[in-house]
Amino acid sequence: MLGTQTSWQKPAGNNYVTITTAHSTTDETDSNSQSPLLDIRDLKVHFPVTEGFIIQRQVGVIKAVDGVNLSVNPGETLGLVGESGSGKTTIGRAILKLENATEGQILLNGEDITKSTGNRLRDVRRQLGMVFQDPFGSLNPRMSAGNLVGEPLKIHGLTTTKSEYKRRVAELLKIVGLNSMMAGRYPHEFSGGQRQRIGVARALAAKPDVMVLDEPVSALDVSIQAQVINLIKDLQTEFGLAYIFIAHDLSVVRNISDRVAVMYLGKIVEIGSRDDIYNHPKHAYTRALLSAVPTANPDLERSRERIVLEGDIPSPLNPPSGCVFRPRCPKPTEDCRDGKIEMGLIEINPGHFVDKCCVNCG
């Protein structure tokens, strides 16, 4: 059974420090020499938009993910943040092959899984787990908790006898803090937090190396969020899992992540260690997101500069030219307005990358 020594609270504050030094001009997004467990290279996921009833013709394309580079090391948590519609879920779904990559590679232990099919795809999927935002919608209401948790064991042939299967299901329920006596109950008989625990147990069943956690606590009450976050952290310690933790709540991401990637309109605009992103943010968008995070310290809270983002994220069907953030940027320069800005990530400190455009934004 897992320990409960880890506790989680909303963080106390964020201090912004401006840095201006650019050390290198590489386009890689991970300066770590360790070979990554998961390595996403120039990933594009585009959805064609069609028109017509009998004869369909393509009239546009939604660039949900448009040239993303990310890597995750064993046992690491990469936080992925950005407003709704920025493409976070699509990246997660592409990793699980629930969406097809239009271009690019997703290397898992060095193997490009975008090409995997048949039995190989099944083996690849065993190494990956996903927890979804809506614990109710993502669990089949007609399956009992035991069957939901046990289904991956059957799909991947991971138990040989009925008694072994039952023992493993009971073990998984226990790992996530549920009583094995609950195995016969159905999703509607559980609370929201308990349902998400079933989702975590199901994702964990096939002993994955990497788990994509897509807004796993967003639909839960704040009091329950802390329990589920602590469970997720404990599981990582116990099983050495690597996580991609997707969220729009930056205080939750700060608590759990080793590194953080900031996404806007299908692109990563800044990525770095938790300290880089929360204490030395460079991109105008990262600064705006962080300025909206309330602090528990009343003095800091009073002096907190709030950068209001006007309007909504633009449609990926018709993204702005040049810098995608330009229409909402609080301080665009003349060059930004003229579209003379060169885009692409640049390393400004070891492991801290920001869009070339915004190296001197702050």
- C-beta of 231 vs 357, nearer to ligand SF4: 357
Q: Give the residue, chosen from 18, 24, 32, 84, that forms a contact with ligand ADP under the rule CB under 6 A.
A: 84
Say how many C-beta atoms besides its own lie within 10 A of residue 188's C-beta. Answer: 9
- According to the binding rule CB under 5 A, does residue 89 interact with Mg ion? yes
Residue 36, C-beta contacts closer than 8 angstroms, at least 6 positions apart: 30, 71, 72, 73, 107
Of 274, 144, 129, nearest in space to 212 by CA: 129
Decide: is 47 part of the binding site for ligand ADP (CB under 6 A). Answer: yes
Please state, in angstroms and rounded to a whole number, the distance separating the CA atoms of residues 111 and 126: 14
Cβ 283 vs Cβ 298: under 8 Å: no
Query: Does 85 engage in binding with ligand ADP (CB under 6 A)?
Result: yes
Q: Is 138 in the site for ligand ADP (CB under 6 A)?
A: no
Judged by CB, which is closer to Mg ion: 64, or 108?
Answer: 64
Q: Tell me: does residue 177 bind ligand ADP (CB under 6 A).
A: no
Distance of closest approach, residue 86 Cβ to ligand ADP, in angstroms: 4
The count of chain residues that interact with ligand ADP, using the rule CB under 6 A, is 12
Closest approach of Cβ 114 to ligand SF4, in Å?
Answer: 30
Whole-angstrom distance, CA of residue 69 vs CA of residue 206 = 27
Residue whose beta carbon is closest to Mg ion: 89
∠232-84-324 over CA atoms, to 5°?
125
Shortest CB 362 distance to ligand SF4, Å: 9
CB nearer to ligand SF4: give 297 or 315: 315
At 3, phi and psi to the nearest 5? -75, 165
CA distances (Å), 17 to each of 20, 117, 247, in order?
A: 10, 47, 24
Q: Which of 14, 90, 114, 286 binds ligand ADP (CB under 6 A)?
A: 90
> Which is nearer to ligand ADP, 64 or 149 (by Cβ)?
64
Q: Which residues bind ligand ADP (CB under 6 A)?
A: 47, 62, 64, 82, 84-90, 316
